[in-house]
Amino acid sequence: MGIYLLTLLILGLLWLVSKERLLLSALLAVFALPWLSFGLNLCLRKKLSIGISVSPGATKNSAVACSVRVRNEARLISVQLYVIFMTENMLTGERSRTEIPLAVSPCSTAERKLLLQSSHCGQLKLCSESVYLLDILGFLRLKLPVGETSARVTVLPELFFPCVELNSAVAEGDDNDAYLPRLGNDLGEVLQLRDYVPGDNLRNVHWKLSGKLDRMIVRDGSKPLNRSLLLLWDKTAGAMGGAAADALAETVSSVAQAISEQGLPFILCWNEDGQLAEEAVESPDELLSLLPRLIRDRGGRTEESAISLLLRSAERENLGRILYFAAEATPELEELRSRSRLTAFLCRSGESDGDTVYFDSDSYTETLQNLELRE
């Protein structure tokens, strides 16, 4: 800008002194150059389109190939075009921006290839945050109305091998008090037979047995038993920074993998779009197909914890065995513990005991590889 203004000043002074037409023409040409270039950019702005593509999958700390393409449908050259390219890890919240310069010939496509990498797992969103043109001298900026163009790629967690040994009774139930039948409304499982008392629902009368005994007999149902093993990742519990989110994602995935390889079915739960996602897992292949969805984002637009979402579920009156994963404990954890057999895995400092396992984001693999979780 300084050189441009200095050039205009010198040409202006020379013309004032000499009154030469050639100097006047040069002065006008230099003055008009950026505005002429800006006018050409106005003609170009609706003739340009942008596209982004990325390789289908990636692993941590490995190169991810992506490309940014700009198509020029006009018969004018785009000299100075810039794409503000943003990469965001939807799980950890980490962002980075890169300014990509491109020059596009008339009626052609220009492509810029990039190699990206992430040290944390999660879904990477690659998008064009903004696209703009500059005049030939770089003074006047013109933003293009191309909208946001994006692509996504999942960086899978690196699985390790924690020592988790659970016997089949966990999935099927045992004689623990938490699994004993209790009075409820499920007549599919009759808890007891008794004499009718005023106020009993007539639909619960056992008419055949009442006829034989010549008095009214009522069936009491039981509460449904939930004997399944449940893995619960509470993404909204505590401040989940980049390293903690990565450690929790790999811990949940690895513990789930260890359990599935033992042939034990379980339910995998996590926060998703303000709701509680619940998916039954019966094999390692089913688990692997769920991993991209499990680590897709930070859990949605709600601050409600996964425990709260779980406890609000009407059919969750009698919970079974739960492995709970979070950055820190929430007030609802004790209520959940009172209604289930629970082991908490917390990504924070602390002294592990039989009910809670503490690990940090630097040494979680070593901590959990030496863990023996038995039933």
pLDDT number for residue 314: 52
Per DSSP bridges, beta strands 217-222 and 183-184 are antiparallel
Which domains, ranges and CATH numbers included, belong to the chain?
A: 44-156 (2.60.40.10), 183-222 (no CATH), 226-369 (3.40.50.410)
Asked if residue 283 lies in contact with residue 303, where contact means CB atoms within 8 angstroms, the answer is no
pLDDT for residue 313 is more than 90? no
**Mean pLDDT (whole number) for 346-356:** 87
Listed ranges 57-61, 157-161, 319-323; the one with the highest mean pLDDT:
157-161
pLDDT, one tens digit per residue, over 174-189 is: 444 444 444 554 444 5
pLDDT for residue 225 is more than 70? no
> Sorting pLDDT into bands at 50, 70 and 90, what band is 372?
low
Asked if residue 270 lies in contact with residue 306, where contact means CB atoms within 8 angstroms, the answer is yes
**Mean pLDDT (whole number) for 238-253:** 89
pLDDT number for residue 316: 54
Containing 337, the helix (H) or strand (E) segment is: helix 333-338
Asked if residue 162 lies in contact with residue 260, where contact means CB atoms within 8 angstroms, the answer is no
pLDDT number for residue 374: 53
pLDDT for residue 85 is more than 50? yes
pLDDT for residue 315 is more than 90? no
Per DSSP, what are the bridge partners of residue 240? Answer: none
- Residue 177 phi, psi (nearest 5): -55, -30
pLDDT for residue 168 is more than 60? no
Per DSSP bridges, beta strands 48-54 and 266-272 are unpaired
Containing 212, the helix (H) or strand (E) segment is: helix 207-213
pLDDT for residue 251 is more than 60? yes
pLDDT number for residue 224: 45
pLDDT for residue 227 is more than 70? no
pLDDT number for residue 186: 46
> Sorting pLDDT into bands at 50, 70 and 90, what band is 206?
confident
pLDDT for residue 32 is more than 80? yes
Q: What distance, in Å, lies between the first and last C-alpha atoms of the chain? A: 74
Q: What is the DSSP string of 214-272?
A: TS-EEEEEEPPP---EEEEE-TTSS---HHHHHHHHHHHHHHHHHHHHTT--EEEEEEE
Containing 191, the helix (H) or strand (E) segment is: strand 186-195
pLDDT for residue 169 is more than 50? no
138 Ramachandran zone, left/alpha/beta (phi>0; psi -120 to 50):
left
* C-alpha closest to that of 346 among 374, 373, 323: 323
- Least confident stretch, 104-113, 149-158, 185-194: 185-194
> In the chain, what percentage of residues exceed pLDDT 70?
87
pLDDT number for residue 290: 95
pLDDT number for residue 354: 77
Per DSSP, what are the bridge partners of residue 51? Answer: 69
pLDDT number for residue 324: 95
> In the chain, what percentage of residues exceed pLDDT 90?
36
pLDDT number for residue 142: 92
pLDDT number for residue 203: 75
pLDDT number for residue 252: 96
- Least confident stretch, 72-76, 105-109, 163-167, 304-308: 163-167
- Least confident stretch, 21-30, 160-169, 213-222: 160-169
pLDDT number for residue 179: 41
Question: How does the average pLDDT of the chain come out, rounded?
Answer: 84
- The type of residue at 367 is T
pLDDT, one tens digit per residue, over 254-263 is: 999 999 988 8
pLDDT, one tens digit per residue, over 124-155 is: 999 998 999 998 888 889 998 877 788 999 99
Asked if residue 328 lies in contact with residue 241, where contact means CB atoms within 8 angstroms, the answer is no
pLDDT number for residue 167: 55
